């Protein structure tokens, strides 16, 4: 018994040392409060120039939110002001959250990032690979090996970027389940040999979400709600907004000439009877909610008094996974698992440190974490038709102003 007690004490001491070491790795930036006051004006000029109707911008560190500002209008027709709790369609900012769900199951030993997808979704057995194209004609051969979950999350699986024309209605109507959609995707031939190159794939991330369902026995929406959003207090992060939440959705606009006009693209709307969560891009959220998640990532997987990931899992998700492959939508980028990774800061990423990670969305939303300096910035806008949402001047202005407010 004495030996057991002694062993327990030793283990406890070692664990305490390990925990202290991990805590020491958490860097938290200190901000100059006066300089943070420049953030609203940095964004207001884009409202004045009719680039956006309004925005919510959040800057914070491992301790919490340092600044949150609502600028402009939520709806130009009603002239309703933007509010801190306005909801935004965050589109592909959903992808890193899908990767978090997968990592939770990896921690539980229920799957591995290097598992073949077909181990959990048998419909992926016998996939084929396109080796020749001639107009509408395609020549396929058996794929050299099964695709893996890691390749889904790094966009190197070879799965198509989105549903082909015959399946495009899945994304608009969202009247099929995730299971039904991914079953259809499993029958599509691969665009290239798995692992050979990078190509942004919504169908691949949706497939990763379906793996979560198959392994956990829960719907994707329920898994994230009970395992991540509720524990972190993210009550406004949802795939299917309630009527009250719909009343807080920021309106979507496109620029025509020198004015903003309501955007009418069908993918913008969330049908009230939707049953397809779109793990690749279906979430709506708010600035305060997303700040809780990004703060918790800076704290190596702990937030709101809850640990949702181990520090080792956070490191695995956000480290460079794609080597020297050309990736992303701006220069100097790589990819982790579901997270974009800043390999060489330049251009719009110049205010970030190497190893920073985050993701953008199709409607101009952006959120990036700089673990080296210990800060994050969130930009929430609703614009379609941007030449490159990842390289938008709004993103650059926010990151530059936030970085300039960090005390040396």
pLDDT the model gives residue 93: 98
CA distance 244 to 249: 9
pLDDT in tens, 319-344: 999 999 999 999 999 999 999 999 99
Top pLDDT among 7 and 106 is at 106
CA distance 183 to 235: 31
Count CB-CB contacts under 10 A for residue 304: 15
Residues spanned by CATH 3.40.710.10 within the chain?
A: 28-74+83-93+223-404
Residues with Cβ within 8 Å of 193's Cβ and at least 6 positions away in sequence, in order, are 129, 143, 144, 158
For residue 196, the 8-state DSSP code is S
The pLDDT value recorded for residue 138 is: 86
Predicted confidence (pLDDT) at residue 2 exceeds the cutoff of 80: no
With b for 16 or more beta-carbon neighbours within 10 A and e for fewer, the 328-349 pattern comes to bebebbbbbbbbbbbbebeebb
Q: Reduced to 3 states, what is the DSSP secondary structure of residue 276?
A: coil
Torsion of CA 396, 353, 26, 18, to 10 degrees: 150
What proportions of the chain, in percent to the nearest 5, are helix, strand and coil?
Answer: 40, 20, 40
Distance of CA 119 to the CA centre of its chain: 25
In this prediction, residue 10 has a pLDDT band, given cuts at 50, 70 and 90, of very low
pLDDT (mean) for 97-126: 98
Task: Determine the Cα–Cα distance for residues 20 and 128; give it in Å rounded to an integer.
Answer: 49
User: How many angstroms separate the CA atoms of 186 and 178, rounded?
Assistant: 12
Question: Tell me, what's the pLDDT at 269?
Answer: 86
Residue 237 banded pLDDT, cuts 50, 70, 90 = very high
| Per-residue pLDDT at 372 | 98
Quick one: pLDDT band at residue 277, thresholds 50, 70, 90? very high
Kindly report the average pLDDT of the chain as a whole number: 93
The model's confidence at residue 137, banded by pLDDT at 50, 70 and 90, is: confident
- Give the closest residue to 314 by CA, choosing from 397, 254, 371: 371
Of 338, 388, 336, 327, residue with least CA distance to 362? 388
Q: Which of 87, 70, 45 is nearest to 290 (CA)?
A: 87
Q: What's the gap between Cα 144 and its chain centre?
A: 30
Distance CA 13, CA 113 (A): 32
Tens digits of per-residue pLDDT, 16-73?
Answer: 333 333 444 899 999 999 999 999 999 999 999 999 999 999 999 999 999 999 999 9
pLDDT digits (tens, 9 = 90+) for 344-353: 999 999 999 9
How many helices (H) does the chain have, and how many strands (E)?
15, 17
CATH number for the region 28-74+83-93+223-404 comes to 3.40.710.10
3 band by pLDDT with thresholds 50, 70 and 90: very low
User: pLDDT tens, 385-396?
Assistant: 999 999 999 999
Q: Classify burial at 159, counting beta carbons within 10 Å of its beta carbon; exposed 0-12, middle 13-18, buried 19 or more.
A: buried
d(CA 358, CA 183): 29
Going by pLDDT thresholds of 50, 70 and 90, the confidence category of residue 129 is very high
Cα diameter, the chain: 80
């Amino acid at each position: 018994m004495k030996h057991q007690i002694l062993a327990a004490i030793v283990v406890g001491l070692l664990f305490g040392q390990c925990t202290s070491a991990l805590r020491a790795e958490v860097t938290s930036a200190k901000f100059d409060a006066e300089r943070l006051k420049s953030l609203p004006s940095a964004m207001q000029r884009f409202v004045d120039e009719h680039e956006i109707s309004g925005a919510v911008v959040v800057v914070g560190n491992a301790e919490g939110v340092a600044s949150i500002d609502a600028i402009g209008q939520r709806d130009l027709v009603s002239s309703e002001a933007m509010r801190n709790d306005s909801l935004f369609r965050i589109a592909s900012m959903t992808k890193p959250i899908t990767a978090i769900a997968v990592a939770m199951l990896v921690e539980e030993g229920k799957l591995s990032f290097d598992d073949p997808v077909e181990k959990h979704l048998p419909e992926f057995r016998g996939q084929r690979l396109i080796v020749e194209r001639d107009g509408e004609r395609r020549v396929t051969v058996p794929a050299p090996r099964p695709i893996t979950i890691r390749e889904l999350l790094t966009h190197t699986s070879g799965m198509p970027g989105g549903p082909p024309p015959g399946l495009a209605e899945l994304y608009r109507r969202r009247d099929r389940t995730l299971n039904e959609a991914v079953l259809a995707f499993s029958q599509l031939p691969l665009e290239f040999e798995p692992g050979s190159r990078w190509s942004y794939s919504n169908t691949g991330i949706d497939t990763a979400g379906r793996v979560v369902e198959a392994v956990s026995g829960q719907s994707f929406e329920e898994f994230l709600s009970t395992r991540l959003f509720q524990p972190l207090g993210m009550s406004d992060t949802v795939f299917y907004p309630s009527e009250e939440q719909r009343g807080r959705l920021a309106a979507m606009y496109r620029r025509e000439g020198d004015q903003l006009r309501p955007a009418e693209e069908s993918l913008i709307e969330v049908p009230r009877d939707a049953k397809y969560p779109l793990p690749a891009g279906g979430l709506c959220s708010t600035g305060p909610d997303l700040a809780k998640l990004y703060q918790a990532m800076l704290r190596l997987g702990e937030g709101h008094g809850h640990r949702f990931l181990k520090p080792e899992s956070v490191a695995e998700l956000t480290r460079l996974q794609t080597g020297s492959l050309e990736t992303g939508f701006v220069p100097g980028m790589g990819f982790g698992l579901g997270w974009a990774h800043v390999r060489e800061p330049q251009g719009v990423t110049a205010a970030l440190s190497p190893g920073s990670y985050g993701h953008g969305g199709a409607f101009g939303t952006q959120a990036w974490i700089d673990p080296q300096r210990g800060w994050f910035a969130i930009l929430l806008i609703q614009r379609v038709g941007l030449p490159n949402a990842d390289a938008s001047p709004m993103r650059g202005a926010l990151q530059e102003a936030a970085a300039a407010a960090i005390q040396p």
